[in-house]
Amino acid sequence: MNIGQFIMMRHELLLTAVALIILIAEIFTADNSKKKLIPFSIGLFALVTILGFLPVQEGTLFGGSYQGSHLAALMKNVLNIGVLIIFLQAEGWLRRDENADRISEYFLLTISTLIGMNFMISAGDFLIFYVGLETATIPIAALAAYDRIRSRSAEAGIKLILSSALSSGVLLFGLSLIYGAMGSIYFADVAQTVTANSMVALGFIFFVSGMGFKISLVPFHFWTADVYEGAPVNVTSYLSVISKGAASFIFAIILFTVFKTLTEMWKPVIYTLAVFTMTIGNLFALRQQNLKRFLAFSSIAQAGFILLGILGANDLGMTAIVYFVLIYVFTNLGAFGVVEAISNASGVETIKGYNGLYKTNPKLSLLMTLALFSLAGIPPVAGFFGKFFLFTSAASSGYYILVLIAVLNATISLYYYLLVVRAMFIEKSDNPVPAFKSSPYMRVALLLCVAGIFAVGFASVIFDSIREISQNFMF
């Protein structure tokens, strides 16, 4: 193995370098000018995001523990774009005086979790996968408790770390059962020899439970609402978009490659999870008044839709998942961006608080509407195409009833998404959110989201290239 091959790990290495540079910059920055770290870190990260798009070679490192593929690189790029938008949205919040002494902390923790996710996506064995997963989880708990003076934030942190400890324990147990049955932790070995015996089956169930926790599938989702509501908005958006996206990616990869021969075994499990996740997520979302909680449950329902792509279990399914997550990044971050901007400006986080928003902040209202329409999957915005391909992949594998259930759920979701639109445009309010101007960073972030919502849906070249990469990966 020569040193040049390490370039395959470019995403991880670059991120590590950025993390270190920010750490060093923090040491050399005077206390009263810490705020300069914000543009500095965002700039560095933007550079990394762009460099991520340079072509990579495929191959394995460390005796198969690390797998570099075009699909993995694509997934990492999707995550990078999302994190870049989140960083841009964080600016207003980080600039507050109370956060002045821990700006670099935010960037370090976030980038650390991202490094973990990248390793997770490129894992070639269960050990690297697990280490990546933990690296991706533990710093988030610290992030959730970032506003530690707020008791809700501290509660969110504690709830996240405790329940994720449980889930990691179960997951690890599951992995050790699989290792016990197969005698290997390498994906390639397991994929070749795995058979459906009861030990593997139990291990698999535990593995699914652990992943279900990360993707917040029902019934492993309970932490989601409390943590999403308590954590700072920015961290919530990170959790709901990036964490969930990364976990969905690796979940799909492992199911499609490692457990490929057991497809008939895991399909009923995923089917059950999909039905419950879509339905319960929607039923809870109906009742929410707090927008963060509302988006939390809506994101649970969206995770249920991703499972439809997994059930497709072919290259179209993989394409649909990556495409959906890409759209979801722009869409959900658009919605969260508006919530964050309004929360920063006025502290309002409830649907009622948005009454009459269109009168005072028409642009934000329109953007929110666009994002919600995309979440609901109304053509011609991107969200429609995302859902469409997920449904197509499930239907192409013969799951017509499940697609019907999904369509019904999409209809229910339309109702509650429109509740927010109604609040903004139709309901009147005596004291609506006053008009304000969001910061340039936030505006760039929101513009990126709008551009994404339109471009990803309309530019078929994006879908086609994802399709091509997925096809190469699956065969």
Partner 1 sequence: MYNYTILIPMIPLVMFLVTGLLGMKWKPIISGLLGTTGLGISWVLSLMTAITYFFGGHHAEAFPTIIPFETLWLTFSETLQIKMGVLLDPISVMMLVVVTTISFMVHIYSLGYMHGEKGFQRFYAFLSLFTFSMLGLVIATNIFQMYIFWELVGVSSFLLIGFYYQKPSAVAASKKAFIVTRFADLGFLIGILILSFITKTFDFGILTNPDGAVFANAAGLSFMGVSAMTWAMVLVFMGGAGKSAMFPLHIWLPDAMEGPTPVSALIHAATMVVAGVYLVARLFVVYHFQAPDALEVVAYIGGFTSLFAAVIAITQYDIKRVLAFSTLSQLGYMMLALGVSGYGGEEGLGYMASVFHLFTHAMFKALLFLGAGSIIHAVHSNYMYDMGGLRKYLPITHITFLIACLTIAGVPPLSGFFSKDEILVAALEHNKLLFAVEFLVAGLTAFYMFRLYFNIFWGKDRHYHHTPHESPLTMTIPLMFLAFASVFSGFLPFHSLVTADKMHFDTHLHLGVAVPSVLIGLLGIALAWLLYKKESKTPENIARKLGVLYTATYNKFYFDEIYLFITRKIIFNYISRPIAWFDRHIVDGFMVGIGTVTEKVSYRIKGMQSGQLQHYAFMFVAGALILALVLVYYM
Positions touching partner 1 (CB under 8 A) are 159, 162-163, 166-167, 170, 196, 201-202, 204-206, 208-209, 212-213, 218-220, 222-223, 225-226, 265, 268-269, 272-273, 280, 283-284, 286-287, 412, 415
Rounded least distance, CB 287 to partner 1, Å: 6
In the complex, minimum distance from the CB of residue 174 to partner 1, in angstroms, rounded to a whole number: 9
Region for 337 from its dihedrals, namely left if φ exceeds 0, alpha if ψ lies in -120 to 50, beta otherwise: alpha
CA 350 to chain centre: 23
Contact 341, 364 (CB under 8 A): yes
Nearest approach, Cβ of residue 159 and partner 1 (Å): 6
Identity of the residue, 444 or 450, whose beta carbon is nearer to partner 1 in the bound complex: 450
- The strand ranges marked E within 228-321 are none
CB distance 200 to 263 below 8 Å: no
Tokens of 395: 């239907």
For the chain, what's the residue count?
A: 475
261 with 316: CB under 8 angstroms? no
In the chain the first and final C-alpha atoms are separated, in Å, by 26
The DSSP H or E segment spanning 80 is helix 70-94
Beta carbon of residue 209, minimum distance to partner 1 (angstroms, whole number): 4
Least Å distance between CB 225 and partner 1? Answer: 6
Number of helices followed by number of strands (H, E) in the chain: 20, 2
Report how far Cα 428 is from the mean position of its chain's Cα atoms. Answer: 34
**101, exposed or middle or buried, with CB in 10 Å at 0-12, 13-18, 19+?**
exposed
Supply the minimum distance, in Å, between the C-beta of residue 211 and partner 1: 11
194/214 Cα distance (integer angstroms): 24
**CB of 65 within 8 A of CB of 187?**
no
Contact by Cβ (8 Å): 292, 228: yes
Nearer to partner 1, 62 or 415 (CB): 415
Question: 63 or 380, CB closer to partner 1?
Answer: 380
Q: Which is nearer to partner 1, 58 or 226 (CB)?
A: 226
Helix (H) or strand (E) holding 450: helix 440-458
Nearer of residues 227 and 246 to partner 1, judged by Cβ: 227
Closest CB 304 distance from partner 1, rounded Å: 14
Provide, rounded to whole angstroms, the least separation between the CB of residue 266 and partner 1: 8
- Angle, helices 151-182 vs 198-215, to 10°: value is 160
Q: Measured from the CB atom, is 202 or 474 closer to partner 1?
A: 202
Please state the closest distance from residue 111 (CB atom) to partner 1, in A: 29
59 or 268, CB closer to partner 1?
268
Rank residues 114 and 280 by Cβ distance to partner 1 and give the closer one: 280
Least separation in angstroms between residue 224's CB and partner 1 is 10
Are 111 and 117 in contact by the 8 Å Cβ rule? The answer is no
Neighbour count for residue 194 (Cβ, 10 Å): 20
Q: Note whether 361 and 337 are within 8 A (CB).
A: no
Q: Which residue, among 42, 161, 63, 57, has the nearest Cα to 106 in the 3D structure?
A: 42
